[in-house]
Amino acid sequence: MTTIVLVRKNSNVVVAGDGQVSMGNTVVKSTASKVRKIEKRNVVAGFAGSTADALTLFERLEAKLEKHAGNLSRAAVELAKDWRTDKYLRRLEALMAIGDKENSYIISGTGDVLEPEGDVIGIGSGGNYALAAGKVLMETDMSAEDVAKKAIEVASEICVFTNNNIKVEKI
């Protein structure tokens, strides 16, 4: 369980995530990093699900971006296809929020590649809380990074599977 928020504002794209790793009702780690920047392709991504699954999917996303010359739309669709049809990958129950300068997507293991309306995406156990907070904060003068951080903070006050140890990646 985790909370990830992706914010697009004033030509900036930011993904932020909390640091809590839980097993059942027990907090195992509070400083995990569930967000990543793919420097070479100027893409940021956040993951809600298990750590091993996250690493596998991040690697697959990076390979798809390389194969499709940095075209995030194409890479997202190809990753979703693999995720749904691959015997090993289809067992992963997770969500990814990914974005570059032009596009933002939610990718799921059921083959969904969603391009949400608006400039805020929230996924994970506290995703809806972060999404609601982010939408309200977008109307302020806050930067994209500040909106993302504050949205995670709000979620951490409501969702027991979210903490306020926030990691941020931006492009």
Element (H, E) at 121: strand 120-124
**At 170, which helix (H) or strand (E)?**
strand 167-170
Residue 15's Cβ-count burial label (10 Å; 0-12, 13-18, 19+) is: buried
Q: What is the pLDDT of residues 9-42, one digit of tens each?
A: 999 999 999 999 888 889 999 998 899 998 788 9
Q: Tell me what pLDDT residue 112 has.
A: 87
Q: What is the pLDDT of residues 75-91, one digit of tens each?
A: 999 998 888 787 666 66
Q: Is the confidence at residue 133, as pLDDT, over 70?
A: yes
pTM: 0.91
Domains in the chain with CATH codes:
3-170 (3.60.20.10)
State the residue for tokens 């893409």. Answer: 43
Q: Is 162 a catalytic residue?
A: no
Least confident range from 26-30, 37-41, 53-57, 93-97: namely: 53-57
Taking residues 96-111, what's their average pLDDT? Answer: 90
Whether 38 contacts 66, CB under 8 Å: no
Q: How confident is the model at residue 55 (pLDDT cuts 50, 70, 90)?
A: confident
- Give me the pLDDT at residue 110, please: 76
Annotated active-site residue in 2, 3, 51, 140: 2
In whole angstroms, give the CA distance from residue 41 to residue 76.
Answer: 13
Using pLDDT thresholds of 50, 70 and 90, give the confidence band for residue 92: low
**Mean pLDDT of all residues in the chain?**
91
- Closest Cα partner for 134 from 123, 124, 125, 121? 121
